[in-house]
């Protein structure tokens, strides 16, 4: 946590986005954390990982489509960079990363999984340093 604060201290300022964008971001993370704790505590919901991902992705798609429609339109830019970004987001970030996350929650406690998530910023920093 201290490392994240040190690295991001200079960028901890509000940008030009509307206030609701910040509220939605914070609320979504709080709901995600609450749902994780509730699901782990209930123990009776034994939904397959692909169903969990499907529900999460469909819910997000509906919400973001409504936001995009409200802010201008649903048609994305059709170029190679956008298509590569969407492929990376869908294949790696969604299916692989969330799949590992949900599988980890089945095998370990929520506290253990969340403590590993805190390792993401330093690992990302080291990976970026090696790449660039």
State the DSSP string of 40-108. Answer: HHH------HHHHHHHHHHHHHHHHHHHHHHTT-SPPP-SHHHHHHHHHIIIIIIIIIIHHHHHHHHHS
Of the candidates 132, 95, 102, which has an alpha carbon nearest to the alpha carbon of residue 117? 102
9 lies in a domain? no
Q: What is the pLDDT of residues 37-50, one digit of tens each?
A: 777 777 666 777 77
31 lies in a domain? no
Which run of H or of E encompasses 5?
helix 2-8
* pLDDT at residue number 1: 66
- The answer, as to whether pTM is greater than 0.85, is no
Q: What is the pLDDT of residues 40-95, one digit of tens each?
A: 777 666 777 778 778 878 888 898 888 888 888 888 878 888 889 888 888 887 78
Which domain, by its residues, includes 125?
48-131
3 lies in a domain? no
10 lies in a domain? no
85 lies in a domain? yes
Specify the number of domains making up the chain: 1
């Amino acid at each position: 946590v201290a490392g994240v604060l040190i690295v991001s201290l200079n960028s901890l300022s509000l940008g030009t986005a509307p206030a609701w964008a910040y509220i939605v971001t914070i609320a979504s993370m709080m709901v995600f954390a609450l749902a994780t704790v509730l699901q782990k505590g209930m123990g009776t919901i034994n939904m397959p990982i692909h169903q969990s991902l499907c529900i999460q992705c469909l819910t997000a798609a509906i919400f973001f489509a409504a936001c995009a429609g409200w802010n201008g339109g649903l048609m994305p830019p059709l170029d190679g960079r956008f298509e590569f970004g969407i492929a990376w987001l869908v294949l790696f970030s969604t299916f692989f990363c969330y799949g590992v996350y949900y599988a980890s929650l089945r095998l370990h406690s929520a506290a253990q999984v969340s403590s590993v998530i805190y390792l993401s910023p330093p690992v990302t920093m080291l990976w970026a340093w090696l790449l660039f």
